[in-house]
């Protein structure tokens, strides 16, 4: 049996950091009223990072990938598959993954493509890469979640613009005799496509429709709590494990209240919940690998630990991946 194992992780946050006080002051200048108290109480977010105007998704992905490569001891040329999870790629096409391949100087012709499943993107991308490793198509995959959500925010809409941030996280997966990725469970339900979307598109040389993020927060909240639990339970069942086997819970970092309720449902102490939403905000497909890398680098996550990764977002999409690190 071939498994895929996480060899290393990396991440990158653009240097411009805005605390709630910074953002609140900027919004007040535009006549938009919000407060640190509201943002912290409703979401747990204290700060987020925004990329400079000339910095793209693939730039963030590149920095995170370089860090993952440096930690792996591998060379860029050793990578034989690149999957980037993003909803904010550099351009309509080519994919951020092929641009990343070029920036990394990889000329071995390995497949490179983007996965678009919004905030579930990283669990989707990890599952796709795991499958390609298991079938022998790839041996060493670079899997990245990278976003510049600041580009698609409507800074006149206080119900969304305080929630999101930019960043990237990366993992290198390698074929191995031992696990690895233990199981995963992916889902989508397009009936809920309108509760979280960027409805605009490009046509005839123009942007048609609204190119900024729209979210019915309470509807997303309600759905997220239910589907995250069912995906986690299905993943545990596929792996023959129980709640008690999970060492660390790494959910999509959107709202501390959703994350804490997940830990409770899985009967996990809150100390076993990896939290970066307070410092990063919601970085969509980048949030899980950013949280994973921060917990690996801080020494919380150790080799052999069992990790439950959970994503949920626009589409509506959701899923979970159980990993033995
Ligand atoms: O990444 C994909 C997954 N996304 C998520 O998981 C997000 C899920 N949803 C949420 O996290 C929460 O629904 C939000 C954080 C988005 C909103 O929290 P909420 O507790 O559901 O608040 P709400 O939308 O029901 O709004 C409550 C009040 C409203 O005022 P009224 O109508 O009660 O007078 C809003 O107008 O809070 C008001 N409000 C704000 N006030 C100050 C909304 N945004 C703000 C703001 N500052 N930024």
Please write the tens of the pLDDT for every residue from 249-289. Answer: 999 999 999 999 999 999 999 999 999 999 999 999 999 99
Spatial distance between the Cα atoms of 216 and 166, rounded to a whole number of angstroms? 21
- Domain covering 182-324 in this structure, CATH number: 3.40.47.10
Q: Are the CB atoms for 79 and 104 separated by under 8 Å?
A: yes
Rounded mean pLDDT, 291-316: 98
Equal CATH topology for 3-177 and 182-324: yes
pLDDT at residue 208 in the model: 96
d(CA 311, ligand 1 centre) in Å = 20
Rounding to the nearest 10 degrees, give the CA dihedral for residues 41, 261, 165, 84: 180
Q: So where are the chain's domains? A: 3-177, 182-324
pLDDT band at 104 (very low <50, low <70, confident <90, very high): very high
- Closest ligand 1 atom to residue 217 Cα is 13
Rounded mean pLDDT, 234-255: 98
Tens digit of each residue's pLDDT (9 = 90 or more) over 47-68: 999 999 999 999 999 999 999 9
Tens digit of each residue's pLDDT (9 = 90 or more) over 169-186: 999 999 999 999 999 999
pLDDT band at 234 (very low <50, low <70, confident <90, very high): very high
- For residue 284, give the nearest of 118, 60, 91, 55 by alpha carbon: 118
pLDDT band at 76 (very low <50, low <70, confident <90, very high): very high
Burial class of residue 260 (count of CB atoms within 10 Å of its CB; 0-12, 13-18, 19+): middle
* Superfamily of domain 3-177, CATH level 4: Thiolase/Chalcone synthase (3.40.47.10)
Question: What are the backbone angles phi and psi of residue 201, rounded to the nearest 5°?
Answer: -150, 175
- For residue 283, give the nearest of 157, 94, 153, 112 by alpha carbon: 153
Pocket mutation for ligand 1, best pick of 86, 159, 192, 220 (most atoms within 8 Å of C-beta) = 159
Count other C-beta atoms under 10 Å from residue 319's C-beta. Answer: 29
Q: Which residues are tagged catalytic?
A: 119, 252, 282
> What pairs with residue 248 in β-bridges?
307
The tokens describing 83, both together, are: 């999957």
- Nearest residue (CA) to ligand 1, atom 14: 217
Ligand 1 pocket by Cβ (under 6 Å): 34, 38, 42-43, 119, 158-159, 162, 196, 217-218, 220-221, 224, 254-255, 258, 282, 312-313
Rounded mean pLDDT, 285-300: 98
Q: Are the CB atoms for 311 and 126 separated by under 8 Å?
A: no
d(CA 306, ligand 1 centre) in Å = 33
Q: Are the CB atoms for 12 and 140 separated by under 8 Å?
A: no
Give the pTM.
0.98
């Amino acid at each position: 049996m071939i498994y895929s194992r996480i060899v290393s992780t990396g991440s990158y946050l653009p240097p411009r950091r805005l605390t709630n006080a910074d953002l609140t002051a900027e919004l007040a200048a535009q006549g938009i009223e919000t407060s640190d108290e509201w943002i912290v109480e409703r979401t747990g977010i204290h700060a987020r990072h925004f990329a400079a105007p000339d910095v793209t998704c693939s730039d963030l992905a590149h920095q995170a990938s370089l860090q993952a490569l440096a930690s792996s001891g591998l060379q860029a040329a050793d990578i034989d598959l690149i999957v980037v999870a993003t909803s904010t790629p550099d351009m309509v096409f080519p994919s951020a993954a092929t641009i990343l391949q070029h920036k990394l100087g990889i000329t071995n012709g390995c497949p490179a493509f983007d996965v678009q499943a919004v905030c579930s993107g990283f669990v989707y991308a990890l599952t796709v890469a795991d499958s390609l490793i298991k079938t022998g198509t790839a041996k060493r995959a670079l899997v990245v979640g990278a976003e510049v959500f600041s580009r698609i925010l409507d800074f006149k809409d206080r119900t969304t613009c305080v929630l999101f941030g930019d960043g990237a996280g990366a993992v290198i997966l390698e074929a191995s005799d031992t696990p690895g990725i233990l199981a995963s469970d992916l889902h989508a339900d397009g009936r809920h496509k309108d509760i979280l979307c960027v409805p605009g598109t490009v046509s005839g040389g123009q942007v048609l429709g609204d190119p900024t993020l729209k979210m019915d927060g309470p509807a997303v909240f309600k759905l997220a709590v239910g589907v995250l639990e069912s995906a986690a339970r299905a993943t545990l069942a596929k792996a023959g494990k129980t709640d008690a086997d999970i060492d660390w819970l790494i959910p999509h970092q959107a709202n501390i209240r959703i994350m804490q309720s997940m830990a409770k449902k899985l009967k996990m102490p809150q100390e076993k919940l990896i939290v970066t939403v307070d410092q990063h905000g919601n970085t969509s497909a980048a949030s899980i690998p950013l949280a994973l890398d921060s917990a690996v680098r801080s020494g919380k996550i150790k080799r052999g630990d069992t990790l439950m990764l959970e994503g949920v977002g626009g589409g509506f999409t959701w899923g979970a991946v159980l990993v033995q690190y």
